[in-house]
Amino acid sequence: MPKLQGFEFWSRTLRGAHVVAPMVDQSELAWRLLSRRGAQLCYTPMLHAQVFVRDANYRKENLYCEVCPEDRPLIVQFCANDPEVFVQAALLAQDYCDAIDLNLGCPQMIAKRGHYGAFLQDEWDLLQRMILLAHEKLSVPVTCKIRVFPEIDKTVRYAQMLEKAGCQLLTVHGRTKEQKGPLSGAASWEHIKAVRKAVAIPVFANGNIQCLQDVERCLRDTGVQGVMSAEGNLHNPALFEGRSPAVWELAEEYLDIVREHPCPLSYVRAHLFKLWHHTLQVYQQLREELAKVKTLEGIAAVSQELKLRCQEEISRQEGAKPTGDLPFHWICQPYIRPGPREGSKERAGARSKRALEEEECGTEVLSKNKQKKQLRNPHKTFDPSLKPKYAKCDQCGNPKGNRCVFSLCRGCCKKRASKETADCPGHGLLFKTKLEKSLAWKEAQPELQEPQPAAPGTPGGFSEVMGSALA
């Protein structure tokens, strides 16, 4: 069957406009199946192409063991910065999905350190080679998810470059790579609209989607073929159905799916924190319990207790109306991410998320995460002046071995020592010594003679041995 391209691929394979975004540790199979009640297309979490190529267990855990007939159409997303590695990973995944997506939108620090995601958006030559090679080698279409540049015209040229290289569908997140965390702000639909008018392939919009009305307005205002939701979907997986059910309905349905399609407990816990977000602001003690439980049934028990508390509150408030703009806290509803404090927006632009948190909480107050760590280990200190200083590896930036002859970390040292057949006593790597011992041992051994097989019938021969065994 010939590979479908562009609008033919979108209309015949994807068949819809409601899309669940790729979310690390969050868009796993169980969540995708729950979201497909209203979504027509889902993405896997972002997978690391290099790890996917070299690690069979990683492939099994993240894709091969998650094959499910109901989980289609499906797009597998990879992060990569090498054309060959990207294509190798895509070839291993293409039989399990309908398209392969290249992540060019991740703005997090891990993407900066790993040199992928949105931090490739200025390397147009590299991206052209990656998309072109994938388009030539794969039997399924290649797609891209990008963030915008501040300038609309540069964003348009970026999109056109990807289209020319062979991208068959483009998802445009209407924020720049600097817009993240408390500095997210609103996504620019003007950028998305300009891209849609400038390219001849389907475009999906991402950003500012909290309810079905936002989806309809985005389709109308931008002219895109599909609308993707990430955070809105996490707080209300029934978003694309236009429903806002009681939280426990979706929580119980999700837990039932997890029992059938297991996933790491950390994923389940994170999803319930999102679903119950508003209620957990009311019942702080149950929030702590949800953070501490170690089993799926323990998480289900906390969710059940939250349900009972909400039902008791409902019985006491019959006839009451919610205060403010949001419905009652036990109803699935959007989470509006708070921005930096008013009056300090300009200064906040150049500061880290940690700096903003310290401004809000005061430098003497530990974050919730650090408080939990200190509960587990009362002697733990977070004073930066007491933190040990490590010299960095010359190649990768990890702490180097103090006695390494190459001034590298153990991983880099092992690669170099193996390549050069050298020793590093500091890391206990003795490639040169072992080779010399092996050669010396071989020289010291007399030439080994192959034993001659005994002739049949002779003493010790096969016939005699078998005869005596039978006797």
Q: Catalytic residue positions?
A: 106
DSSP 65: G
Where are the alpha helices (H) located in 166-246, listed in sequence order?
A: 189-198, 212-222, 231-235
- Give CA torsion, residues 392, 396, 401, 404, to 10 deg: -110
Going by C-alpha positions, the residue among 33, 30, 72, 26 that lies closest to residue 261 is 30
Bond prior to 378 in cis (omega within 30° of 0): no
Residue 238: how many other CB atoms lie within 10 Å: 20
Contacts of 423 by beta carbon, 8 Å cutoff, 6+ apart: 405, 417, 429, 430, 431, 432, 433
Measure Cα distances from 343 to 33, 354, 358 in Å: 43, 18, 16
Judge whether 84 and 97 are in contact, CB under 8 Å.
no
Going by C-alpha positions, the residue among 198, 215, 206 that lies closest to residue 179 is 206
DSSP for 160-184, written as a single string: HHHHHHT---EEEESS-TT--GGG-
Residue 356: how many other CB atoms lie within 10 Å: 18
Pairing of strands 203-206, 170-173: parallel
Burial 158-192 (b: 16+ CB within 10 A, else e): bbbebbebbbbbbbbbbbbbebbebbbbebbbebb
Beta bridge partners of residue 48, listed in sequence order: 79
Residue 233 identity (one-letter amino acid): N
| End-to-end CA gap in the chain | 68
Judge whether 258 and 296 are in contact, CB under 8 Å.
yes
Measure Cα distances from 26 to 114, 138, 209, 270 in Å: 21, 27, 17, 8
Instruction: Give the torsion sign (CA, 294, 297, 300, 306).
Output: negative
- Rounded (10°) angle between helices 152-165 and 189-198: 40
Contacts of 412 by beta carbon, 8 Å cutoff, 6+ apart: 393, 394, 395, 396, 398, 406
